[in-house]
């Protein structure tokens, strides 16, 4: 800051000797801008934002649990480690939540295949003949899976069968345009349906 003021004064003295008043004004303006920029930088480094650099002082904080005690370790810039321990009442609920894996897993809605088939039979979005045509397609698909399985080539043609399955499902979903709820549920159950096809044995 002081350097900028000195520079400005010395430049002013230099130009006062000449007749370039306009140039002097321009240079003064530039210097004023520099000063403003310098002040802004100063405020940034020494102002309230300095609190954001606090984590530098405490570089690492670790918590460890020893029985009912919680041991808090803090490592400062100087490398000294400050360890404080405080007793903490760990509730049984906390422990049960952390140890029970069933609670931590996000529950997925169960898919009832029989219910889906029943809804497909009952829906008014598809006509009787169309339903019968879909049924024929599904039975043909099932037959082809069984024949591959009997030949022992199921693994080999799994990709081909999956493509066929996707096409079949796409047809059904397109037909269920007037029953978006059922369409959505079938879409969600896609993998379950595929697995049930592979598991089914005639």
Partner 1 sequence: MKIILTAMALFFLPLQAHAVTMAEDIATTIMLRGHPCGGSTASQISETRDGAGNRTIQATCPNGKRYQVDVSSDGRVTVKPLN
Compute the least distance from the CB of residue 124 to partner 1, in Å.
4
Whole-angstrom distance, CA of residue 109 vs CA of residue 188: 10
Two structure tokens written together for 31: 């210097």
106 near partner 1 (CB under 8 A): no
Closer of 153 and 163 to partner 1 (Cβ): 163
- How many residues make contact with partner 1 (CB under 8 A)? 18
103 near partner 1 (CB under 8 A): no
In the region spanning residues 170 to 189, those forming contacts with partner 1, defined by CB under 8 A, are 171, 175, 178-179
The binder of partner 1 chosen from 21, 63, 102, 128 (CB under 8 A):
128
125 near partner 1 (CB under 8 A): yes
Compute the least distance from the CB of residue 162 to partner 1, in Å.
21
- Look-up: residue for tokens 């900028």? 4
Two structure tokens written together for 78: 């100087």
133 near partner 1 (CB under 8 A): yes
Two structure tokens written together for 183: 């369409």
DSSP string, 170-199: HHHHHHGGG-HHHHHHHHHTHHHHHHHHHH
∠ CA 128-134-136, nearest 5°, is 105
Whole-angstrom distance, CA of residue 57 vs CA of residue 175: 65
Closer of 57 and 136 to partner 1 (Cβ): 136
Binding site for partner 1 (CB under 8 A): 124-130, 132-137, 139, 171, 175, 178-179
């Amino acid at each position: 800051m002081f350097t900028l003021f000195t520079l400005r004064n010395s430049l002013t003295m230099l130009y006062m000797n000449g007749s370039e008043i306009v140039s002097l004004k321009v240079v003064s303006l530039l210097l004023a801008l520099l000063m403003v920029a310098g002040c802004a930088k100063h405020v940034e480094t020494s102002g309230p934002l300095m609190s954001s650099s606090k984590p530098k002082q405490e570089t690492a904080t670790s918590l460890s649990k020893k029985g009912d005690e919680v041991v808090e370790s803090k490592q400062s810039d100087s490398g000294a480690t400050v360890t404080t321990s405080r007793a903490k009442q760990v509730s049984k609920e906390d422990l049960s939540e952390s140890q029970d894996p069933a609670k931590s897993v996000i529950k997925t809605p169960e898919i009832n295949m029989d219910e889906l088939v029943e809804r497909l039979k009952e829906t008014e979005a598809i006509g009787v003949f169309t339903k019968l045509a879909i049924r024929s397609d599904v039975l043909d698909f099932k037959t082809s899976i069984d024949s591959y399985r009997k030949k022992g080539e199921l693994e080999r043609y799994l990709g081909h069968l999956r493509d066929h399955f996707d096409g079949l499902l796409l047809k059904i979903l397109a037909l269920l345009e007037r029953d978006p709820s059922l369409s959505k549920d079938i879409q969600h159950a896609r993998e379950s349906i595929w697995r049930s096809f592979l598991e089914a044995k005639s």
